[in-house]
Amino acid sequence: MKTQLKAVLFDLDGVIVDTAKYHYLAWKKLADSEGIYFDEKINERLKGVSRMASLEIILERSSRVYSEEEKQKMTEIKNNWYREMIEQLKPDEVLPGVIDFLNSLKKYGIKCAICSASKSAAYIIDKLGIKDYFDTIVGGQDITKSKPDPEVFLVAAERLNVSPAECVVFEDAYAGIEAAKRGGMKAVGVGNPDILTNADVVYKDMTEVTLEKVLKLFQ
């Protein structure tokens, strides 16, 4: 018997909304205050990576060594700035194509989940006014291992009571696609095909995605 599509698991930042720009601004403010060089290219490496791991990447450019306590404090400061910025998030920041796709999934009774490294995932979904589309939100507080470990996606599958083979993941990060594959799921890349080389299929953005196209992965 053929495997059916039963659930769609969405990464948040880069697929549903572009929160990366706010993460960048907050990290940039922190790096500047410490006199550490940080730019948008380095910021690319922070996508999909946990808060502390993001700080460690920034500190690679620092000449001094920071204690664990100092690092903890720095992530708190950054997060406070970030939370202030995303307080203004509005429904019109949902990326183009997302709502149409979510409506088609709802129509056909396919379950939906958010699978994000962010501890602010539920807050962001609420701000964007799209909470009712999702059966569960798995965020940074629900996992111990970040992508490319499949934990975030496996937790979602378990909560939705579906098997990994019945899931398709939407991701904008190479490590996220890797995590989906390791978890035994189909993986759709959203973004640059030259970067997302490990995906089953890549679309430039969510406006190119339709349920018909996704179902082809299960034929």
Interface with ligand B16 by CB under 6 A: which residues? 11-14, 20, 23, 46-51, 54, 79, 116-120, 140
Contact 181, 187 (CB under 8 A): yes
Taken in order 210, 46, 124, 169, is the CA torsion positive or negative? positive
Strands (E) across 50-166 are located at 111-115, 136-138
To the query of whether residue 13 is one of the catalytic residues in this protein, the response is yes
To the query of whether residue 149 is one of the catalytic residues in this protein, the response is no
Cα–Cα dist 25/18, whole Å: 12
Q: How far is the CB of 198 from Mg ion (least distance, A)?
A: 15
Whether residue 164 is preceded by a cis peptide bond, meaning omega within 30 degrees of 0, is no
Contact set for Mg ion, span 40-79 (CB under 5 A): 48
Q: Which of 13, 39, 149, 200 is catalytic?
A: 13
Q: How far is the CB of 63 from ligand B16 (least distance, A)?
A: 24
Closest CA to 3 of 138, 198, 162: 162
Q: How far is the CB of 9 from Mg ion (least distance, A)?
A: 12
Residue closer to ligand B16, measured from CB, 143 or 214? 143
118 binds, among ligand B16, Mg ion, none (CB under 5 to 8 A by kind): ligand B16
Burial 30-68 (b: 16+ CB within 10 A, else e): bbeeeebebeeebbeebbbbbbeebbeebbeeeeeeeee
Cα–Cα dist 57/31, whole Å: 11
3-class SS letters over 42-71: HHHCCCCCCHHHHHHHHHCCCCCCCCHHHH
Q: How far is the CB of 187 from ligand B16 (least distance, A)?
A: 14
Q: Which of 7, 9, 11, 181 forms a contact with Mg ion (CB under 5 A)?
A: 11
Interface with Mg ion includes 13 (CB under 5 A)? yes
Count, residues near Mg ion per rule CB under 5 A: 6
Residue closer to Mg ion, measured from CB, 15 or 157? 15
190 binds, among Mg ion, ligand B16, none (CB under 5 to 8 A by kind): none
181 binds, among ligand B16, Mg ion, none (CB under 5 to 8 A by kind): none
List interacting residues with Mg ion (CB under 5 A).
11, 13-14, 48, 172-173
Active site residues: 11, 13
